[in-house]
Structure 1
């Protein structure tokens, strides 16, 4: 079975690396887009935000970005202005974004990706920091949105 999943990934981000590892642990090889070198188009980014059902502002990353210097905390800024900033500075786009047949989601925390995967984890899984996400019995140990 071929499953088309895209991850907008930053290899320097632990959350992004954990998310990618969980996709692969489900037996799926996603299309990996390193969005800092190949950012999505403005139209695609706007579409992803709409499909996630979140406000544009919720996709802005503050830590390690020019967020403060650009004055992006200003509540009077429009969605178009925020999108313009993300286009000019892709580091402002929070990650990882995962696009799957089951939906589109900003996977923070990384285990949120489990709600998008049509197949179970193939082996137990722990995050880079040692937090167990899937135990030896194949049970999810972290809270999630799937019941």
Structure 2
């Protein structure tokens, strides 16, 4: 297993900045992906969803986002439609997401991601 860690980071988010600071203080190889600019593909979302242990994209959608309401995502059950919306509107993705090996975790609270190590 690799020691590499990736964070899907949004520098405008305080929880994301706090999580990044924790990971940097921990040391080790860290890949910072600003996912708002470098949007994940549907395949990447599926992979990370599995690593998060989620069975539905609804589990990591930001339900307070205007896009969530405007797109009517609450009523949608088709996973492909939800994942497609996440690729087109990455702010819908709950953040930050930290990926380490075959596991991932959302940094809410930030300290939670340390359980990956």
Question: Would the TM-score normalized by the shorter structure come out above 0.5?
Answer: yes
Alignment-derived partner of residue 41 in structure 2 = 41
Q: Contact between 1:56 and 1:83, CA under 8 Å: does it hold in 2?
A: yes
Kindly name which structure, 1 or 2, has the bigger radius of gyration based on alpha carbons. 1
Tell me the TM-score normalised to structure 1 length.
Answer: 0.72
Higher RCO, 1 vs 2 (CA within 8 Å, ≥6 residues apart): 2
> 1:44-97 deviations in whole A, cap 9, x for unaligned?
1111001111121111112344111111111x4211111011111111111111
Q: Is the 1:65–1:91 contact (alpha carbons within 8 Å) kept by the matching residues of 2?
A: no
| TM-score (ref. length: structure 2) | 0.89
CA distance 1:28–1:65, change in 2 (3 Å)? farther
The SS at the match of 2:98 is strand
- Taking the TM superposition and a 5 Å limit, the aligned residue runs for 1:98-117 are 98-101=98-101, 103-117=103-117
Gap regions ≥5 residues in structure 2: none
Unaligned runs of 5+ in 1: 118-147
- Alignment correspondent of 2:57: 56
Q: Taking structure 1 as reference, are residues 102 and 114 closer, same or farther at Cα in structure 2, changes over 3 Å only?
A: farther
Query: Which structure shows the higher helix fraction?
Result: 2
1:118-137 matches, within 5 Å, as: none
The structure 1 segments of at least 4 consecutive aligned residues displaced by more than 4 Å after TM superposition are: none
SS in 2 for 1:73: helix
